[in-house]
Structure 1
Amino acid sequence: MALIPKETELQEGLTTIFEDLLLKKEGVKKELIRTRKDFNIACDQHIKSGFQSEQDWVNANASHQNKFIEYEMYCHIIDIITDFKDIHGQFPEYMEMHRTLSQIMIKLAQDEKYELAAIAKLWVDRIESTIQEHSYC
């Protein structure tokens, strides 16, 4: 059985997290498209009802806005992680990447943007777990 260096395992784990993050973003994008369609339907029904079904329109608008903000958060996290990726697809400064995402998560919580902080926390925790799992200490 060949021995795989811990650093290689760590980089593979971080790459898997990044790929999972990209997949999640695409899933959220599909949900965003669906909420936009729901919003358009609610708008049409609101107009057809003589502007009597306002609550459905308001709910659809809020749902779409929330999904848009979630999608933007995933894009932001991906941008940050991509900044730490080298030309070989690895993350040589993974500790700094983790620290940066942690600081963003804390800032979001301090700004009382708890839903966004929770999204960031999911990925911060996964990265931290992978780092600890493949740490030499």
Structure 2
Amino acid sequence: MAIVSKNMETQEKIISTFEELQQAIYDLKHQLVESELLFNQACNRHIDSNFQKEWLLDRISSRYDRITLRHDVMLLVRDTISAFRDFDGYFLDVKQLIQSIESLMLSHADEEEYEIAAIIKKWHEKFAEAIYFISDFTY
């Protein structure tokens, strides 16, 4: 059985969580594209109906705004985390990394931007779990 250092195992978990974040951003980008197409179709339907389908535009626009917000916040989280990454892809000073995400979350909560703070909190918890995991040593 190979012995893997705690630091290396932590790095693997952080990298995996970072890749999960990257995938979530990628998925949201695709949802944005789909929403833009739906919005264009809704505009055409609205025009074809003699401007009677404004509710459809509002729904699609609202969905687009929610996806955009999530996407932008996740980019902010990614950029914050990337500041702690070295050229080899490893994360340096992981405790400071968690503190930076927490600070970002709290600053948005202080500004009463609770939806943004909630999105950041989700990723703060995921990265904290990756960093402060307890290895399962049961056999």
Task: With the length of structure 2 as denominator, give the TM-score of the two structures.
Answer: 0.90
Alpha-carbon offset, residue 13 of structure 1 = 0.7
Alpha-carbon offset, residue 109 of structure 1 = 2.0
Aligned residue number for residue 121 of structure 2: 121
Instruction: Report the CA distance shift for 1:19/1:132 in structure 2 as closer, same or farther (over 3 A).
Output: same
Amino acid at match of 1:126: K
What pairs up with 1:30-49 in 2 under 5 angstroms? 30-49=30-49
Alpha-carbon offset, residue 90 of structure 1 = 0.7
Amino acid at match of 2:62: A
Following the alignment from structure 2 to structure 1, what is the Cα–Cα distance between the partners of residues 42 and 131?
A: 46
1:6 aligns with 2:6: yes
Amino acid at match of 2:23: L
Following the alignment from structure 1 to structure 2, what is the Cα–Cα distance between the partners of residues 35 and 24?
A: 16
Alpha-carbon offset, residue 112 of structure 1 = 2.5
For structure 1, list consecutive stretches of 5 or more residues without a partner in the other structure.
none
Following the alignment from structure 2 to structure 1, what is the Cα–Cα distance between the partners of residues 6 and 128?
A: 15
Identity of aligned residues (%): 29
Alpha-carbon offset, residue 134 of structure 1 = 5.3
Following the alignment from structure 1 to structure 2, what is the Cα–Cα distance between the partners of residues 48 and 60?
A: 17
Task: Say what the alpha-carbon RMSD is for the aligned residues.
Answer: 1.5
Count of aligned pairs: 135
Following the alignment from structure 1 to structure 2, what is the Cα–Cα distance between the partners of residues 50 and 134?
A: 62
What pairs up with 1:103-114 in 2 under 5 angstroms? 103-114=103-114
1:55 aligns with 2:43: no
Amino acid at match of 1:91: F
Amino acid at match of 2:108: L
Following the alignment from structure 1 to structure 2, what is the Cα–Cα distance between the partners of residues 114 and 47?
A: 36
Q: Is the 8 A contact 1:9 1:134 kept in 2?
A: no
Aligned residue number for residue 22 of structure 2: 22
Following the alignment from structure 2 to structure 1, what is the Cα–Cα distance between the partners of residues 56 and 123?
A: 33
Q: Is the 8 A contact 1:105 1:117 kept in 2?
A: yes
Amino acid at match of 1:107: S
Aligned residue number for residue 66 of structure 1: 66
Aligned residue number for residue 92 of structure 2: 92
Alpha-carbon offset, residue 95 of structure 1 = 1.1
Is the partner of 1:98 in helix, strand or coil? helix
Is the partner of 1:133 in helix, strand or coil? coil
For structure 2, list consecutive stretches of 5 or more residues without a partner in the other structure.
none
